Amino acid sequence: MADQTTVLYVLTTLAQSCAALAAFVGAVGVFRIQMLREQRQSAEQNIRGLSHIPVGSRASLMPIGELTAILDQTRQDLKETTLNRDTIVAVLAVLDLWRAYVPRMKSMRTTLIVLEGWNLAAIAVALICFNYVAALAVAPWFSCVLVFVTVITALVPLGCVWVWTQGVEK
C-alpha cells in the first residue's frame, strides 16, 4: 500500500514518461516512414529509367499502375525473350523492391498508431486517476496494475523499433 503523495507522484511520472515516449519514438517513426516513402519514390524513378527498353520512351510519362501492368506482362513473356534480357530482369527486380515498400509502410504506420494509442491512453488514465488518488492509495491491486502498465509501456516502443528496423540491412 502507498500513501497519496506516492500515488500522485507515480501517476505524474507515468504521464510524463508516456508523453516523452510518444514524442520521441513517434518522431522516429514518422522519420522512418518518410525515409521509406523517399526510398519507394527513388525505386519508382529507377523503374521508369530502366523501363525504356521493354516499354519505350513513354515509360517516364505513364501512370505507375499502367507501367507496372506492362512490366508484369513482360515478366510473363520473359521466358520467350532473349533481347535485353538482363535489363528486363533488372527492372523487374526494382519493381519487386518497389512493391515491397507498401507492406513495410503499412506495418510501420500500424505500429506507430499502436504506440501513440497506448501512450495517449496511459496518459489519459493517469490524469483521470488523479481524481481517485485516495482510493488508489489503499487499493491492494494498484501496484499490480502499475507493473502491468509499466511492462506494456516498455514493450510497445521496443516492438515498434523492432518492426521499424526490419529490412534495414537490405
Three-state DSSP state, 140: coil
Q: How many domains does one find in the chain? A: 1
Q: Tell me which amino acid residue 84 is.
A: N
Is 107 contained in some domain? yes
Domain interval for residue 16: 4-164
Is 85 contained in some domain? yes
Is 169 contained in some domain? no
DSSP code for 12:
H
Is 126 contained in some domain? yes
Q: Say how many Å lie between the first and final Cα of the chain, rounded.
A: 51
Measured between alpha carbons, how far is 145 from 74 in angstroms, rounded to an integer?
58
Nearest to 19 by CA among 112, 143, 121, 155: 121
Q: What DSSP assignment string belongs to 38-105?
A: HHHHHHHHHHHHHTTTTT-GGGGTS-HHHHHHHHHHHHHHGGG--TTHHHHHHHHHHHHHHHHHHHHH
pLDDT in tens, the chain (170 residues): 468 888 899 899 999 998 998 888 888 888 888 988 998 999 888 888 878 767 777 877 888 888 888 888 888 777 666 567 777 888 888 889 889 888 888 888 888 898 889 989 999 999 999 999 999 989 999 989 999 998 998 888 888 888 877 765 55
Is 157 contained in some domain? yes
Q: Which set of grid coordinates corresponds to residue 106?
A: 503499412
Is 93 contained in some domain? yes
Is 87 contained in some domain? yes
